[in-house]
Amino acid sequence: MDPSSPVVDVTAFVIQEIGALLFGMVFYFLYRQSRVVYFGLWGVAWVLRLLAAIFGFELLRTNHAGWLAPYATFEFAFAIVLVAAARAGFASGVKDWRTVLRLIPILPIFVALVYALAVTFSRLEAYHASHALVLCFVYFYNFLMLRKNVGFGARVFRFSLFLLAAAFLEHAIILMYLYNAGAAPAWARYLHHETYYDFTLHCVLAFAAMAMWSESQIDRIRDLTGELDHLRREVQNSLDLDRLTGLFNQAALAARVEGPADFEGVVTVCDMDNFKDINDRYGHLVGDEILRNIGNLLRSSIRHEDEAFRWGGDEFVILFRNQHSSVAAKRMTEIEARLHDFRVRGFGVLPISFSWGTAEAQGRTLREALDEADRCMYVLKRSRSAGEQSSAR
The pTM score is 0.57
| pLDDT number for residue 266 | 94
- Evaluated on CA atoms 45, 46, 50, 56, the torsion sign reads positive
Residue 110: the pLDDT is 61
Q: How far is CA 20 from CA 9, 88, 159, 199, 241, in A?
A: 17, 22, 20, 9, 60
The pLDDT tens digits for 215-256 are 878 888 888 888 888 888 777 767 788 888 989 999 889 988
Over 70: is that where the pLDDT of 7 sits?
no
Average pLDDT over residues 28-49: 88
Mean pLDDT of the chain: 80
Sheet holding 354-360, edge to edge: 307-310, 315-321, 265-272, 354-360
For residue 199, pLDDT beyond 50? yes
- DSSP state string for 84-118: HHHHHTT---GGGGHHHHHHTTHHHHHHHHHHHHH
Kindly state the greatest CA–CA separation across the chain: 131
DSSP bridge partners of 321: 265
Bridge partners (DSSP) listed for residue 266? 320, 360
Confidence of residue 310 (pLDDT cuts 50, 70, 90): very high
Q: Residue 264: CA atoms inside 13 Å, Cβ hemisphere, count?
A: 2
Report the C-alpha gap between 135 and 17 in whole angstroms. Answer: 18
Give catalytic residue positions.
314
Task: Tell how far CA 342 is from the center of its chain.
Answer: 48
Which is nearest to 251 in space by CA: 263, 243, 268, 239? 239
pLDDT for the residue numbered 6 = 46
| Confidence band for 1, pLDDT divided at 50, 70 and 90 | very low
**E strand or H helix at 361, and its extent?**
none
Q: Give the residue ranges of DSSP H helices in the chain.
A: 10-34, 37-62, 68-88, 98-103, 106-121, 124-145, 152-181, 184-240, 250-258, 275-282, 284-301, 325-339, 366-392
CB count within 10 Å of CB 219 equals 12
- For the segment 21-34, the average pLDDT, to the nearest whole number, is 90
Q: What is the pLDDT of residues 69-125, one digit of tens each?
A: 788 888 888 888 888 888 877 755 555 556 555 666 665 666 566 556 555 544 566
Do residues 141 and 83 touch, judged by C-beta distance below 8 A?
Answer: yes
Share of the chain above pLDDT 90, in %: 18
Strands 265-272 and 354-360: antiparallel
Question: Residues 263, 360: contact at Cβ < 8 Å?
Answer: no
Domains of the chain: 10-227 (1.20.1070), 250-392 (3.30.70.270)
Interior CA angle at 269 toward 265 and 274, to 5°?
165
DSSP code per residue over 219-233: HHHHHHHHHHHHHHH
pLDDT attached to residue 109: 65
In the chain the first and final C-alpha atoms are separated, in Å, by 127
